Amino acid sequence: MHSDARYSQLVTLNWILIVLVLMLGTWLVWKEVGPELADQVEQRRVVPLQPPGGVRRDGSRPVVRPPATPRSELSPEERSTTELFRQAAPSVVHITTHQVQRDFFNLNVQEIPQGTGSGFVWDKEGHIVTNYHVIHGADTARVAFYDQSSYPATLVGAAPESDLAVLKVNAPPDKLHPLPLGTSEDLEVGLSVYAIGNPFGLDHTLTTGVISALGREIRSATGRPIKDMIQTDAAINPGNSGGPLLDSAGRLIGVNTAIYSPSGAFSGIGFAIPVDTVRWIVPELIAYGRVTRPRLALAVAPDRVTQQLGISGVLILQVTPGTPAAEAGLRPTRRTRDGNIILGDVIVAIDGEKVETYNDLLAILDKRKVGDVVTVTVLRDGQQHNVQVPLQASE
- Return the active site residues: 133, 163, 241
Q: Which of 215, 209, 262, 267 is nearest to 237 (CA)?
A: 267
Q: How many angstroms separate the CA atoms of 226 and 8, rounded?
A: 121
Give, in degrees to the nearest 5, the angle at Cα 178 between 175 and 182: 160
Q: Which of 247, 223, 224 is nearest to 234 (CA)?
A: 247
Alpha helices in the chain (DSSP H): 2-43, 76-88, 132-135, 275-288, 303-308, 324-327, 358-365
Of the CA atoms within 13 Å of residue 218, those in its CB half-sphere come to 19
266 Cα distance to chain centroid = 9
Q: Are 107 and 212 in contact (CB under 8 A)?
A: no
Q: How many angstroms separate the CA atoms of 139 and 369, rounded?
A: 33
Q: Which of 170, 119, 159 is nearest to 136 (CA)?
A: 159
**φ, ψ at 320 (rounded to 5°):** -65, 125
